[in-house]
Each structure stands twice: as structure tokens, then as C-alpha cells.
Structure 1
Amino acid sequence: MKSRFSSSNPRLLELHEKHASAYMSSQPPSESYSYRVQKLLLQQLREETPGIEIVADHLSMSVRSLQMKLKDEGTSYQKILNHVRKHLAIAYLQEPKVTKGEIAHLLGFSEISVFSRTFKKWTGKSPSEYQSAVAV
């Protein structure tokens, strides 16, 4: 599978693989749809930020069926995507020499400003404030 950043920056691919693997290791294996969606999101973030249509297709089901399965588990595609992105963003911000632009790119955000606003919604801190707090 060709990555969207392997040719331009193999360091970013390595960083993604490291943190994606750590994220999945922290999750208890499960047959739940939530777990399967998380796993697919981590794989697909190498290429693009997959929409629910792509994830549903990989699971061989309709979007509506996936939505219902996730609802039955008390979650949604967007909640899972946000959780995965937040977890990875926090991990990436703890890495030395990784720019906010690279993090935004890794997580599939269109612009650094969109990533920064979203991160502040998640944590109450801007990415820079978070990095400063972690560095202390």
C-alpha cells in the first residue's frame, strides 16, 4: 500500500506507524465494530482521511448498517475518528522536531488552522500550549 507521505517524507510514515501501532496496542482486541473502525482508520490515515463510505465498504456493509451498528455500541463514526485523531495528535505533539503542519498533514486536516482549532476544542489548549506544558 502506497502512503500519501512515504515518498515525500519517510520519517512521517515511520512516525505514523509507531503511534498507530502503540494506539492499537492500548486497545483491547475486540470483535466490535468500534474496534474494527479504529483499526481501519489507522490503516487508512496513511492514504487519506477515509469517509464513512470507505470504511463501510471495507467492512462490506452499507453506510446505514455501519451507523446502526456503531449506534448500538454507543458511538458514531465521527466520534471514533475524533478519538483516533486526538490520541495521535497528543502523541505527535510529544515528538521532538515534528511541526504542527506535519501533524495536520498526518491527521488529514486541510490546514494547520483547522487542526489547531480542533485540537483546542478537544483539549482546551492550543497545540503550542500543549507542547509547552508537556515540555516542562
Structure 2
Amino acid sequence: MQDNQQRVALQLLAYAAQKDVPITRLCQLAGIEFEALKQSQGTTPTAKQMSDLWRNAVHLSRDELLGLHLGEALQVAALGIVGELVRSSRTVGEALTHAAAYIHLLTDLFLMEVRPTATAFEVQLVPMPKQEHEDAFVARQLRDVLLALLLHEVNGLVLAKIQPRQVRLQVSAAELPEYQRVLRCDTITPADDIALVFDERYWHEPILTANYELQRLLLEKAASAQTTFAERQPIGTRITRYLLANANMGIPSLEDIAANFNTSVRNMQRKLREENLTYQQLADDVRKELALHYLHTSAHPLKEVSYMLGYNELSAFSRAFKRWTGHTPGGYQKRSALPA
């Protein structure tokens, strides 16, 4: 069974070959053994190899928006079991809900959140808190792959032509026309969050390839894969993912986290020490990410944001936020509201 890094590397190499990039040369530059990569139990590329692969693929193809174009060209089957869950779902809303639940089987750089409202629903890509090994260049390419693939493949599974009402992400003025073309949306708003916004009528749009029995089997397989995936992840990564995925429930105590992971507080602290981490560090990183997200994208009053992040006093939240960003929450919110 191929893991996510191996799958992405193979898809990238296949697409680069279509653009007349010499694959042997590209693999050499990235330090990847192509024959070993192709095996079903092949070598998993390291983070550095994936970074080198993306950078050299962009350079050799002379396509700065390679991720966007790769996502446009890919089929949902490229997502493996997650793609099959999308294809077998009953409706667009159900497909997106499954994709969000299992996106971590595809990438460790983003979480996906789906938020229905009265008149629309948003599909957000939420970056994981930055780690030293992460590469912003690769994260942007993968962001574009996911956005373009999501839009184009959902369109291929329904009778309606689905177009976003709005897209929020950071792109340059020179790149804007190409993003508008690929994402089929003229309203691309510069923002620090990443989101596709759709009219609510698409939520219940039936998927042509729905298969209830297959979906049941796929969900069992996905649950097994999720367990295997979790067991392989560092404890710090697992905790961070849990905190972000359950952000609406607030930041739990270390005791609650340990209980959720079926271990003791002492054992969890020991595993964190082995990774040179503490639970307080992880919780603060998540609080920072959530604070930036809430202040950018929601109308929550500062006091409510403070409460949601586990601060009993607004003053304590303000001190923490200023330590993280150099700004007070109110000042940051005003700066964010200014026209770009």
C-alpha cells in the first residue's frame, strides 16, 4: 500500500513527464530512486526529497503554478482511498465531509474543514502549525493541488456545473487570471486563510457514482488506515491534529488528552520529552493558529475568542497574543480589516 508522500511523488513525476521534463534527471536532483519509488511497498520520500522534487519540477517545467495545473489535470483516483470515498458518496456535502475526515491520509500540511451556513458552505484548508522542517514552497504547491483537484473532480461527479461563489487565498496580481481560470471564479479575495465558498444548493447535489455498499467497505478500510497512520505519527503531531480537529470544544487539559489517547499523563509527558516538546508548547501553538484564524475570518468578539481559547480573562489572552505577534488582538483585527 502506497503512503501519501509516495503517491504525491509519483503523481508529480507522471505530470512532469507530460510536460517533457526528463524524469531521470528530476529524480537525480531530488535524490530519489525511481525504481524503488514505483514499488507498492516502495521507499517513502523524505521531506527534503519532496521539497527538492517540487522545486526542481517547477524549475525544469518552467511552470511556477505547477501545483495548480497538476490539481487541474489529476483524477480523483489519484487520492487513493479518500478519492474512492468521494466517488461513492451520496451527495457533494457527504463527499466533502468524508474528504475532510481523512485528508490527513493525503498530507500532513493541512487540515480540511467544511462549514455549511444558511446560504453557503465553505471548504477551508487549515495549515498545520509551522514546524522547522516544513517548506512554505511545497505547502503552497500542495495547497493549489488540493484546491484545483477538489473543484474539478467534484464537478466531474455531478450533473450540475459547480462554481465557487468566492475563493480566499493569497495570490499575486500577475497570477490572478490563471487562478480565476482554473478555480472558475472571478471573485478571488486576498486573505490569510484558504477557502472555497459555494452556494448552499450544491450541498445536496447527488453524485452519479454513489455506491452505498462500496462506501461502507471503504469506510472500514479508511478507519483501519487511519489507525495505522496515527500509530506511525509522532505524539506531538497526533496531539496537534486532535486539538485543531476539535477546536470547537476548546483546548483540553493534559489529563483529558491523555485519557483520549488511552494513556497515562506520565507516559504522554515522557513521549513528548523524547520529541523535545511539552503539552503547553503544543497547546500554545494551536491557540496562536486558532486566534489568527478567528480574528481573520469570524465576527466573534475578542472576549468570546479569548474564552474559546481557554483564557478566563481577556487580559491574559491579550498578553499571549502580543507575545505571539507583536500586536494586541484588537490592533491586529483592525489591521486585518483594512482593504488590501
TM-score range, shorter chain: 0.7 to 0.9
Contact 1:45 1:108 in 2 (8 A): no
8 A contact 1:100–1:127 mirrored in 2: yes
- Of 94-103 and 120-129, more deviation after overlay is shown by 94-103
Q: What SS does the aligned partner of 2:297 have?
A: coil
Residue 122 of structure 1 corresponds to which residue in structure 2? 324
Question: Which of 271, 278, 281 lines up with 1:69 in the alignment?
Answer: 271
Aligned partners of 1:85 and 1:19: how far apart in 2? 21
Where does residue 9 of structure 1 map in the other structure? none
Equivalent pairs, count:
121
AA aligned to 2:241 is: K
Unaligned 5+ segments in structure 2 are 1-114, 116-121, 135-228
Cα 1:48–1:94 change in 2 (3 A) is closer
Is the counterpart of residue 105 in structure 1 residue 307 in structure 2? Answer: yes
Verify the 8 A CA contact 1:89 1:107 in the aligned structure 2. yes
Equivalent residue for 2:252?
50
Q: For the residues of structure 2 that align with 1:79 and 1:36, how far apart are their CA atoms? A: 14
- Residue 22 of structure 1 corresponds to 126
User: C-alpha distance in 1, partners of 2:251/2:288?
Assistant: 14
The structure where helix makes up a greater share of residues is: 1
Task: Report if aligned partners of 1:20, 1:88 keep a CA contact under 8 Å in 2.
Answer: no
- Determine the C-alpha separation between the residues in 1 that align with 2:262 and 2:240: 16
Does the 8 Å contact 2:129/2:289 carry over to 1? no
1:69 offset after TM fit, Å?
0.8
Maintained 8 Å contact 2:235/2:271: yes
Stretch deviating more after TM superposition (88-97 or 38-47):
38-47
Equivalent residue of 1:46, what SS? helix
Residue matched to 2:236? 34
Report the AA paired with residue 124 of structure 1.
Answer: G
TM-score by length of 2: 0.32
Provide the TM-score with structure 1 as the length reference. 0.73
Larger radius of gyration: 2
The range that moved more, 46-55 or 61-70, is 46-55
Higher RCO (C-alpha under 8 Å, 6+ residues apart): 1
2:295 aligned residue: 93
